[in-house]
Structure 1
Amino acid sequence: MRFHSLLSPAAALFLASLAAAEGDSDVLSLTASTFESSVNPEPLILVEFFAPWCGHCKALAPHYEEAATALKEKNIKVAKVDCVEEPDLCQAQGVQGYPTLKVFRNGTPTEYSGPRKADGIISYMVKQSLPAVSEVTTTNFEEFKKADRVVAVAYLASSTDAPAAEFSALAEKHRDDYLFGISTDKDTIALADVKPPSIVVYRSFDEPATTYPFPAASVKEAELEEWINDLAIPVIDEVNGDNYATYAQSSKPLAYLFLDPSSEKKDAQIAEIRPIASKYKSKVNFVWIDAIKFGDHAKALNVLEAKWPAFVVQDLGKQLKYPLDQAGETNAETVEAWVVKYLDGKLEPALKSAPIPETQDEPVFTLVGKQFDEVVFDDSKDVFLELYATWCGHCKRLKPTWDTLGETYADRKDKITIAKMEAQENDLPPSAPFRVGGFPTIKFKPAGTREFIDYEGDRTLESLLEFVETHAKNNLTKPKVVPAPTDEAPLEGEAKEKKETSKEEGHDEL
């Protein structure tokens, strides 16, 4: 099946799915009766737990077939379990969604955390089959340095020389991410044209070989990790679900170039931005993104019009967005000027906000982005804030309880604000010292402070009330109400007088 390498990806996937349909599959089908006997003896095997009706499983199938064929040549088995036919087996394996992929080593499973495309599955499993650090010789030198997108090789005079220990520790930590090799062979070192100790990273993109620029003997694991992680990010690449995590884990802001992939100008537009991406790579990560497929992401980044190309810089840590004004052109000149202004701190983030409500009739204050600082940082009040999403089931279940909480303190609105904000319709301003990581996010800000306390208790009214009473700076004790005097309830003096009168009248009757 080596002819796969000569075909286009689309043709390869078609042939893989056709072979599977005809029963000529390199993916082993396992059942409860064959699972242990097939999986436990294998030093390494990949197993997919799937459901035939699952759309994600169907999309994965041709990639999985192609990967199975390629990995068969490397003596790495690939299998699958139909969870509709084998529900007990899947439950025993802790399967909670489809598809679930697991890597088994002699029957012991670990979660598969690699890509879902054929080349990514192949690369991931090949790395799993190798030791954390592989030996590199003249025999495998050329093949090894091209075996993955990012390959790091340490060239040392001896396997015990520094930084062998630091390099090995990093390799164990990142064996799923990169390929690591070591060579102490003089001929291989000469072939690499380096002087030991040296560390070289080989990439399938950008500069093919980059040598660690400082004395390698004294490098620490953290320094080496930062260097390789930075090299693993191309000058500019397409961002998608498979590689977004790489950018999200970086400390750098992310600059998006939104493009129509069907446009004849797409490649030229990427080429125009590449020199800028290269110039500022040490400070900003650049990507291009399919504007048609990810139009909703453009809206989330406050791109107002479906007009391409469009450019946005995002501070991932603070979740702040800086879209380039679409009224002008998006070209090399305007993009570079925008990046420079961002790096110089001369840009204001574009903050999304729903309109300010005309009235506040509900027991809970409806907060919008435009009012955040005014309402939340009112020093005279304690503020209890729920950040929610309209679609979130947990938020929907919390609403009646949160409304009751608002009603409880409705007569003390001068001391405490119970509020809610739709987090996907309203951006948090830079003044907010926190970001939203899930829904609902519940924060308490005591009066007179800029401190936000996370609420992590259960979502019962009793627990919420206890939390408020514990952390509030204001006195929220409800004042006691003294009943006003009425004819039916005479004051103490009047009652005594009437009682005495009654006695006298009674005596006259006797």
Structure 2
Amino acid sequence: MLFNSKLAGITALASLTLAQEQSAIAPEDSHVVKLSQDSFDSFQKENELFLAEFFAPWCGHCKTLAPHYVEAAKTLHEEYQIPIVQVDCTDNQELCMEQGIKGYPTLKVFKKNGEIVSDYQGQRSKDAIVQFMVKQSLPAVSEFTDLESLNEFLAKQKDNVIISQYFADKDSQQLNETFYNVAENLRDEYVFVNYLGDDEVKSYNISVLTPSQDPIAFEATVAEEATLKESSESLSDFIAIESKPYFGEIDGSSYELYMNADIPLAYFFYQSEEQREEYLPLFNKLGKQYRGKLNFAGLDASKYGKHAENLNLEEQFPLFAIHELESNLKFGPEQIPSEEFTEETVVELKESSIEEFVEKYLNKELSPIIKSEEIPEVQESNVIKIVGKSHDEIRFDENKDVLVKYYAPWCGHCKKMAPLYETLADIYALDEEAKEKVVIGKIDGTLNDVFGIEITGYPTLALYPAGDLSKEPIIYKGPRTLESFLQFIKENGAHGIDGAQILADNTPVEEEEEDIEEFEEDEEVPVQDEL
């Protein structure tokens, strides 16, 4: 065993050393094309299809990818004439920024001379890259001229969602162009087919064919009367809705698809396949009835039960809830513990609880479940503690300019800024008028739900001017200094309160120079270094 352990250690060390020695930059004699800021645009215009790697020479993942990328480039060049390129982002920062590169390596597929750009999400191996790019080189739409060959092809698709077009009406060129345009953009998600024969087909039709549901036809007139862009968006939206089953399943492969939908998601957490089958007729019925308004999907509670916490619900199953993905509002009905379930209560839940709950939700008769701390009875400092239950009431106060700090207890930047933020609140507390017109508040984003603002990081400072309830929050983006905070509130608040003047009026003259010097030395420099 000792020998085997040593051998394993030596092997691991050798692998690590090999990875460290492997260069992320493709060899000069490889088929990987090196592009720069100056050559990228012309290369893009000259090539219908290519794969680009945006990388950094020091990146470990880039070094691991390198040999696979080089081998893929060789095969794609020699057998398919599909180019593969590299862009060194350390030398071409502007180009990489233009392409939205946020991490290394990032692989992007460029099609139609750069008109269509998408991220490569497949495995980073030679075979996977080759297979993916070969598929990209094939037509996005499979065309058939006789029904027999079409039906044979459809029979082989098994669980795939088919987007079919029957094109007998030659005057519908606009819709035909729309179909091919959408197919190019969605080719990785669906199978597109076009029947070009005249037999047994009398009219133009685009349909979504799913494994378990009847075909759903797209209204052609919507696209024919619109521009190509508008009709493509309309058809894409139609496919996004109709390609989903009436009652689907959320797991690792489908989660993103549902999260990116533009309509709310109704979850059913089930404890067993038998329980799922028991509810299947109900949710198929509701899914069909409320098509385009709600997506219905099951979630295996034994695997994903923890997700209930994200919906502000307890882990009591079976469980049904609705999540408005865009607004992040969550709605949940009464939960029935699993031990209470009998055949009678299942029927009662189906007929009285779920259907009634869905109907009330769509009629906007329900209040969302808001995660919130309790509203404090007494405020402990001049920085007002805001919670989920009080967030909207405080920020939308018509008479006050409200500055809110969204923070997390574990956030190091938040902790460093806390004393400065307390000082800011203390300044406005020195003046009676300012106390009535300016609120300096904070809310723990980990314990409270907030709506109407997207928090992308902590701390986030947002100002809500008095009297302007429709305006988006004004996000603070300046340096984290007292002077900048005071100026921000003065310039953007509805009342124009001059906090710097309040500070000057309340600072003894003999101490002013010493205090400012000490503040700048202790607080401002570290904050600037932090940024």
Q: Counterpart of 1:474 in structure 2: which amino acid?
A: H
Q: Which of 219, 230, 246 is matched with 2:241 structurally? A: 230
The yes-or-no answer on 1:360 pairing with 2:371 is no
1:129 counterpart residue number:
137
Aligned with 1:308 (options 306, 317, 323) = 317
Matched, 1:444 2:463: yes
Match of 2:178 among 162, 166, 170: 166
Aligned pairs (5 A) from 1:87-486: 97=103, 100-103=106-109, 112-114=119-121, 128-138=136-146, 141-142=150-151, 145=154, 147=157, 148-158=160-170, 161-186=173-198, 190=199, 193-203=200-210, 205-207=211-213, 209-213=215-219, 215=221, 218=224, 220=226, 221=231, 222-260=233-271, 264-304=274-314, 306-327=315-336, 331-333=349-351, 334-392=353-411, 395-396=414-415, 398-411=417-430, 412-428=434-450, 434-440=452-458, 441-450=460-469, 451-461=471-481, 462-477=483-498, 478-479=501-502, 481=505
- Mapped partners of 1:154, 1:405: distance in 2: 67
SS in 2 for 1:425: coil
**Contact 1:354–1:425 (CA under 8 A) maintained in structure 2:** yes
Between the aligned partners of 2:354 and 2:166, the Cα distance in structure 1 is: 38
CA contact (8 A) 1:114 1:121 kept: no
Q: Give deviations 1:289-336, integer Å, cap 9, x for gaps.
A: 2334434431121112x2111110122232211111114767422211
Distance in 2 of aligned mates of 1:449 and 1:483:
33
Deviations 1:43-77 (A, max 9, x none): 666989999999xxx9x9xxx9xxx9xx99xx889
CA contact (8 A) 2:241 2:291 kept: no
Q: Take 2:81 and 2:435, find their aligned partners in 1: how far apart are those partners?
A: 65
TM superposition shift of 1:170: 2.9
Change (3 A) 1:326 1:386: same
Distance in 2 between the 1:143 and 1:400 partners? 72
**Residues of 1 paired with 2:307 and 2:429: CA distance?**
38
Residue 217 of structure 1 deviates from its aligned partner by 7.8
TM-score by length of 2: 0.65
How far apart are residue 395 of structure 1 and its match? Answer: 4.4
In 2, the alpha carbon distance for the partners of 1:377 and 1:43 equals: 51
- C-alpha offsets along residues 155-207 of structure 1, whole Å, 9 cap, x if unaligned? 23449734223323333443444343434333xxx3xx53232223333x332
Deviation of 1:400 after TM superposition, in Å, equals: 4.8
Aligned residue in 1 for 2:512:
none
Letter in 1 for 2:30: S
Letter in 1 for 2:463: F
- State how far apart, in whole Å, the 2-side matches of 1:164 and 1:201 are: 15
Q: 2: CA distance between counterparts of 1:228 and 1:424?
A: 36
Aligned equivalents of 1:394, 1:52: Cα separation in 2: 27
Q: Report the TM-score, using the length of structure 1 for normalisation.
A: 0.67
Contact 2:109–2:120 (CA under 8 A) maintained in structure 1: no
Alpha-carbon shift at residue 136 of structure 1 (Å): 3.0
RMSD: 4.7
Structure 1 residues 48 and 271: CA distance shift in structure 2, 3 A: farther
Over 3 Å counting, the alpha-carbon distance change for 1:360 and 1:121 in structure 2 is farther
Distance (Å, rounded) in 2 between the aligned partners of 1:297 and 1:35: 49
Q: Distance between the aligned counterparts of 2:320 and 2:121, measured in 1?
A: 29
Q: Which amino acid aligns with 1:152?
A: S
Structure in which a larger fraction of residues adopt helix: 2
Instruction: Report SS of the residue matched to 1:369.
Output: coil
1:369 Cα deviation after fit: 1.6
Report the CA distance between 1:270 and its aligned residue: 4.0
Contact 1:314 1:320 survives alignment (8 Å): yes
User: Could you tell me which amino acid in structure 2 is paired with residue 453 of structure 1?
Assistant: P
The structure having more radius of gyration, on CA atoms, is: 1
Distance 1:265 1:117 in 2: 39
* CA spacing shift, 1:110–1:437, aligned 2, 3 Å: same
Q: CA deviation at 1:113?
A: 4.9
User: 1:341 offset after TM fit, Å?
Assistant: 1.2
Determine the C-alpha separation between the residues in 1 that align with 2:308 and 2:130: 32
Query: Identity percentage over the alignment?
Result: 30
**For each residue in 1:139-163, what CA deviation from the matched residue of structure 2 results, as whole angstroms up to 9, or x when unmatched?**
8524654654343324234497342
- CA 1:456–1:217: 2 relative to 1, 3 Å: closer
Give the gaps of 5 or more residues in structure 1: 1-28, 81-87, 485-510
CA distance in 1, matches of 2:477, 2:152: 55
Give a deviation string over 1:327-366, Cα, whole Å, max 9, x none.
Answer: 4767422211110111122211112211223543344222
8 Å contact 1:387–1:421 — kept in the other structure? yes
CA contact (8 A) 2:142 2:192 kept: yes
Secondary structure of residue in 2 paired with 1:163 = helix
Count of residue pairs brought into register by the alignment: 426
Code of the aligned partner of 1:286: F
Q: 1:308 corresponds to which letter in structure 2?
A: F
Letter in 1 for 2:136: Q
**CA–CA distance in 1 between the matches of 2:205 and 2:487?**
60
**Structure 2 unpaired stretches of 5+:** 1-21, 34-46, 338-344, 509-531
Q: Relative to structure 2, which stretch is displaced further, 229-238 or 127-136?
A: 127-136
Q: Verify the 8 A CA contact 1:353 1:425 in the aligned structure 2.
A: yes
